[in-house]
Amino acid sequence: MPRPPRNIRLNPDLPLQLLGCLDETATGVVLFDPEDRLRYANRYFREAYALAADSTPTWEEMMRRCHRERVGLLIESEDIEAWLARVRLKRRQSPKRCFESDLADGRWLRVTETLHPGGWLLAVTTDVTALKVNETTLRQARDEALRLSITDALTGLHNRRHVFERLDELFLSARQLRYPLAVAVIDLDHFKDVNDAHGHGVGDQVLVHFARVLRQALRPQDLVGRIGGEEFLLALPNTEPQGVHQVLRRLRTSLAADPPVPALPQLRTTFSSGLAHALPDDNVHTLWTRADRALYRAKAAGRGVDLDDDTVTGFAV
């Protein structure tokens, strides 16, 4: 056991007073001998680990009981011996270590272990459940704020800023890996007429419906976002020109079969699109510009059509 400094004279009653105080504290205190057998545990620790007042198990015996009876430390492993073998690689390997553990009753503990030269191991546990709950709440709030910052509030698609940031990433990957990248800019036909005839509430329903059908038509790796009032951008990695046209045909078929507003069954959503395929000398701006230019040609051609930019050769060789 560690000895007190020589210049301190202990009151004979001090050990009992100290043990009494430790037994009342809301912090767990436990001491293991060089053979890793429990020699002292205050009331807080014994209650947390469901230990009888006179029990002196080894640390491994404690862990086996925790696993078997689902008390104390939460051990989420079907094989307790394999778990013990992994933990032995860290236990008693450094003079001091700190880590967090969760208990079977849902609490979180921060554990500080101090290994003394003689082999005695002192562990102090502090309940950090409230801190972990606050940390989780803050993380969830941060994640939600991030989600909102990149999401179009009406349709739930990516917003304009984020969709162009992601397009930069997809373009760079396509260039590095030399696979095709297709971009389609979509504009809903006669959307102003819908707003003028039925009101902006119906117009919003049309946009939400179109976004839902659009998501269903795409693969997980495809990028889609709302970049204007009734304008959307698609980026389809590793997709040849014919593949893009197949996606747009499926989208048109789904829209024709599914009215956007149940109260207005005669209302249907149609769209025009301009397509461009990445070229070796492209950058994101030129790729986007060519797709946008093709969209204007599609609208001028009578709407409801998909037109490619004049050049369709991509990166892939």
Ramachandran class of 156: left when φ > 0, alpha when ψ lies in -120 to 50, beta otherwise? left
Q: Return d(Cα 238, Cα 182) in angstroms, integer.
A: 8
Coil vs helix vs strand at 267: coil
Task: Give the chain's length.
Answer: 317
Residues recognised as catalytic: 230
Residue 124: its H or E element: strand 121-127
Residue 264 neighbours by CB distance under 10 Å: 15
Residue 185 — φ and ψ, nearest 5°?
Answer: -105, 125
Strands 306-308 and 271-277: parallel
Q: Return d(Cα 219, Cα 237) in angstroms, integer.
A: 10
CB 113 within 8 A of CB 122: yes
